[in-house]
Amino acid sequence: MTPLYIQAFGGVDDRGLHSVAGTRPWDAGQAGPDEVRRDQVLDKQYPAFGKLSLPDRLAFAASSIALTPGGTAPLAACGMCLASEYGSFSTDLRYQESIAAGFPSPAIFSSTLPSSAISDVAIYFGIKGPNRVLCGPDAIVDIFACASRLIAHEKCTSVLVIALSAMEAQDRQSAIARRPVAMSNSAWAFLLSGIGNDTLRISIAAEPGDASAAAKADDVSLYSLARLFMQGAEGEIPLTIPQYRGKIILTKET
Amino acid sequence: MEMPVILEQSEIICGLGALAETVTDLIDGASAIAPGPWFDVPVAVVPFPDARFRELDACAHRLLSAVDLSDVRPERTALIYCAAKGDISAVEQPAKACSTPAASPDLWAQAKAVEKTAGKQFGRTIAVSTACASGALGVEIAHELLTDGEIDHALLFGFDPLSRFVVSGFFALGALSRAGARPFDAARDGLTPGDGAAIALLSRRTAYAGDIVIAGAGSSNDANHRTGPSRDGSGLHAAARAALRNARMTPKEVGAVKCHGTGTLYNDAMEAKALTLLLDDRYPPCASFKGALGHTSGGGALLEIIIGAECLRRHTLPPTAGFEAAGIDEPLPICAHSRPIKQPAMLCLSAGFGGVNAAVVLREFA
Amino acid sequence: MMEELIETLKQQIITTLKLSDIKPADIDPDTPLIGGNLGIDSIDTLELLVLLEKEYRVTVPDVNIGRKAFASVRAMAQYITDNRRP
């Protein structure tokens, strides 16, 4: 895998809001990432924020944290690679409910696509490069590989990788989910480039593993990745993705 | 010696049937548009001749039986499932879904169900979902993996059947034509949803005369609006340029364009601008299949690439069904009769909600 | 009556379109709804059509009438008053 360099990151999960400045816990009374507010991730007013479906809002929040500080290279040619663990599962159910209520909702329908989670990120930050959207529990590994290949094939020089695990609480027990669902939601965004500049280098050493392993509902890899990056530390993080054996390796350029 | 990515085998199911008959009928100017109402919505659609194929299981059986995987090493093969919504039946009928263990709106689960039907364990299973461009991006991912030698074969499966879910949604967005899509036509009034499914086996090897090569692919994002394309066509133009660059080809080598051509006011206007940015006024013949087959969504992007490949093999670009008089500002050569393809290369375009644009370049090896 | 309807409409618009940063007092009943400072786009307009049908049993037969009906909150209230089915 062509090595990737982390330029910036943002994340929202149960612990709080994560950025290069550290982790900010949720406000008292805020139940977690599902209740993220616009003012916590963006300085400017953005009326569309509240309209976003839950998955789209989390992806937007993590991306905003990663991209807002600025000082990053222009984003117009940047690619976007999204790993969406559950796709638009919850939004699909909400749209179906609007059909059953007799008034199909155009707004909800326009978000019943796994790829709608990159739509507002692209629009707000003007990100016009190549796109990849993969679904499923091991999409996160494939999406780093996608980003690496985009750069290796000279299709772009930087990529925003977004890892999204988002399902509305009311749907977690849904019989049609067909596999265990994580008990809380998270979204991570890593701005990666093919050129280092004193940043840490990430590579993923992964091999297809035991495909019969049941999907693991809890994945701490990306939090660990972010923490190592914040510390400027090298390290190895075991992949906790069901279908893969391997690790994410962070090294300093020498 | 150069070893390009080759389209080895393919098959489709669409409103006009399987691949060979579909292309013959398309060239003859046929259309499978069926007047409504459908799913209680007063619009035309293009249905499968056999509605059983709206079930993923039946469809997978049919399409997998059309390809010969005996020379394929599963552990060195990627199964790439491409769908915007895929099988949405579990959401529509949850009670019925309980009796079908695999039924789920989860696209990865659907990919695994196709793998199970194939009776093999593939080295990797990838579920791609970038709205109506899903199939094209699946081809691009396969092209990269094969070029890098990470896999020896890619088995692409595209699946986006009609449903009340999808038809009601497009209707709520005001995107549907009442009587049937008329791509690029002055009287066009929207898109026509269509049933679509497709399978393709790609490999990388020495090419022989007559092989269809996946020469290159590229994508971009308009970054404009959730559902409406960027008005100036710059995003789709960027994807087309990226695909040609990836193929190490120039625009003037393109012998035909398989347009996205949905029949909506905005898409067709935007696409004409995109193609003009790419080609000035030196357009090769251009066509949209959606006036005959409807908009077959994400899985349909794969279906249309496969049809495009067969047209390239036959050196004939079908007419654009539903087209009578141009309704775009640019003199794009869309027409109501078929034309010869004089250069052995085709540019295939697709675009989807969320501003995604994807382009694939096919070449016939001489 | 009209003023009451306008106030109700403001709240319904905020709820339906999920305008999380906006309060009813922020909405001027006479300034343009679409393309104004509320960030209302074409999909929101379609949601407003659904709102009219659902809450007031009023339909908008074509785009041109729609444009006038959604010109402002007051225009919406007037359209409802004129077209509401008993």
Beta strands in B124-247, from DSSP E residues, in sequence order: 124-128, 153-160, 196-204, 212-221
For residues B98-121, one letter each, b for 16 or more C-beta atoms within 10 angstroms of the residue's C-beta and e for the rest, the string is eebebbbbbbbbbbbbbbebbebe
**CA-angle at A56, arms to C33 and A191, nearest 5°:** 120
Give Cβ neighbours of residue A174 (< 8 Å, ≥ 6 apart): A89, A93, A181
Return d(Cα B341, Cα B310) in angstroms, integer. 12
In this complex, do C39 and A110 lie within 8 Å of one another by their Cβ atoms?
Answer: no
Residues 121-150 of B with CB under 8 A from A: 121, 123-131, 137, 141, 144-145, 147-148
**Single-letter amino acid, residue C62:** D
Give the burial class of A96: count Cβ atoms within 10 A of its Cβ; 0-12 exposed, 13-18 middle, 19 or more buried. buried
**Single-letter amino acid, residue A190:** F
Give tens-digit pLDDT for A97-106. Answer: 999 999 999 9
Tell me what the mean pLDDT of segment B208-212 comes to. Answer: 97
Give tens-digit pLDDT for B32-81. Answer: 999 999 999 999 999 999 999 999 999 999 999 999 999 999 999 999 99
Using alpha carbons, select from B342, B345, B348 the residue that is nearest to residue B316: B342
In this complex, do C41 and B173 lie within 8 Å of one another by their Cβ atoms?
Answer: no
Return d(Cα A163, Cα A93) in angstroms, integer. 22
| CA–CA min distance A140, chain B (Å) | 11
In this complex, do C46 and B172 lie within 8 Å of one another by their Cβ atoms?
Answer: yes
Beta strands in chain B, from DSSP E residues, in sequence order: 5-13, 77-82, 124-128, 153-160, 196-204, 212-221, 256-258, 286-287, 316-317, 339-340, 345-352, 356-364
Confidence of residue B271 (pLDDT cuts 50, 70, 90): very high
Give Cβ neighbours of residue B225 (< 8 Å, ≥ 6 apart): A123, B355, C41, C42
Confidence of residue B126 (pLDDT cuts 50, 70, 90): very high
Q: Would you say A108 and A94 are in contact if contact means Cβ atoms under 8 Å apart?
A: yes
DSSP B150: S
Give C17's contacts in chain A (Cβ within 8 Å): 51, 107
**B231 to each of A85, B234, B316, how far by Cα in Å?**
32, 8, 31
Ramachandran class of A200: left when φ > 0, alpha when ψ lies in -120 to 50, beta otherwise = beta
Asked casually if ipTM beats, i.e. exceeds, 0.90, the reply is yes
Closest-CA residue in chain B for C50? B172
| Cis amide prior to A33 (ω within 30 degrees) | no
Range of the domain at A161: 4-252
Give Cβ neighbours of residue B293 (< 8 Å, ≥ 6 apart): B14, B15, B16, B22, B26, B32, B46, B194, B196, B300, B303, B304
Return d(Cα C57, Cα C54) in angstroms, integer. 6
Residue reference for tokens 């070893």: B3
Nearest-Å Rg of the Cα atoms of chain A is 17
Q: Would you say B195 and B53 are in contact if contact means Cβ atoms under 8 Å apart?
A: yes
Domains of chain B in sequence order: 1-366 (3.40.47.10)
In this complex, do C43 and B174 lie within 8 Å of one another by their Cβ atoms?
Answer: no
Give B226's contacts in chain C (Cβ within 8 Å): 41, 43
Count structural domains, chain A. 1
Residue B232 has pLDDT above 70, yes or no: yes
Residue reference for tokens 């940043």: A199
In this complex, do C53 and A103 lie within 8 Å of one another by their Cβ atoms?
Answer: yes
Return d(Cα A143, Cα A161) in angstroms, integer. 7
| CA–CA min distance C52, chain A (Å) | 11
Using alpha carbons, select from A207, A83, A217, A58 the residue that is nearest to residue A138: A83
DSSP B78: E
In this complex, do B228 and C50 lie within 8 Å of one another by their Cβ atoms?
Answer: no
Residues in chain A predicted with pLDDT less than 70, given as ranges, are: 69-73, 197-199, 205-220, 239-246, 253-254
Return d(Cα B279, Cα B316) in angstroms, integer. 20
Return the higher-pLDDT residue of B276 and C64: B276
Structure tokens at B79: 């199964």
Residue B22 has pLDDT above 60, yes or no: yes
- pLDDT at position A89 is 95
For the ranges A97-106, A198-207, B236-245, C67-76, the lowest mean pLDDT is seen at A198-207
Closest-CA residue in chain C for B174? C46
Return d(Cα A108, Cα B153) in angstroms, integer. 38
Kindly list the partner chains of chain C, i.e. chains with 3 or more CB atom pairs below 8 Å: A, B
* Phi/psi of residue A248, nearest 5 degrees: -95, 130
Return d(Cα B69, Cα B117) in angstroms, integer. 13
We report the CATH number of the domain holding residue A125 as 3.40.47.10
For the ranges A230-239, B147-156, B305-314, the lowest mean pLDDT is seen at A230-239
Give Cβ neighbours of residue B111 (< 8 Å, ≥ 6 apart): A136, B79, B81, B125, B126, B127, B157
* Phi/psi of residue B157, nearest 5 degrees: -130, 120
Q: Would you say B144 and A149 are in contact if contact means Cβ atoms under 8 Å apart?
A: yes
Return d(Cα A51, Cα A48) in angstroms, integer. 5
Give Cβ neighbours of residue C26 (< 8 Å, ≥ 6 apart): none
Give B225's contacts in chain C (Cβ within 8 Å): 41-42
CB atoms within 10 A of CB B49: 13
In this complex, do C17 and A103 lie within 8 Å of one another by their Cβ atoms?
Answer: no
Using alpha carbons, select from A135, A163, A141 the residue that is nearest to residue A208: A141
Calculate helix-pair angle for B56-64, B107-118, nearest 10 degrees: 40
- pLDDT at position A198 is 66
**C40 to each of A87, C17, C30, how far by Cα in Å?**
26, 8, 15
**CA-angle at A137, arms to B161 and B216, nearest 5°:** 60
Give Cβ neighbours of residue C21 (< 8 Å, ≥ 6 apart): A38, A45, A46, A47, A49, A50
- pLDDT at position B110 is 95
Q: Would you say A87 and A135 are in contact if contact means Cβ atoms under 8 Å apart?
A: yes
Q: Would you say B349 and B257 are in contact if contact means Cβ atoms under 8 Å apart?
A: yes
Using alpha carbons, select from A152, A144, A224, A238 the residue that is nearest to residue A191: A144
Greatest CA separation for chain A: 63
Tell me what the mean pLDDT of segment B325-338 comes to. Answer: 96
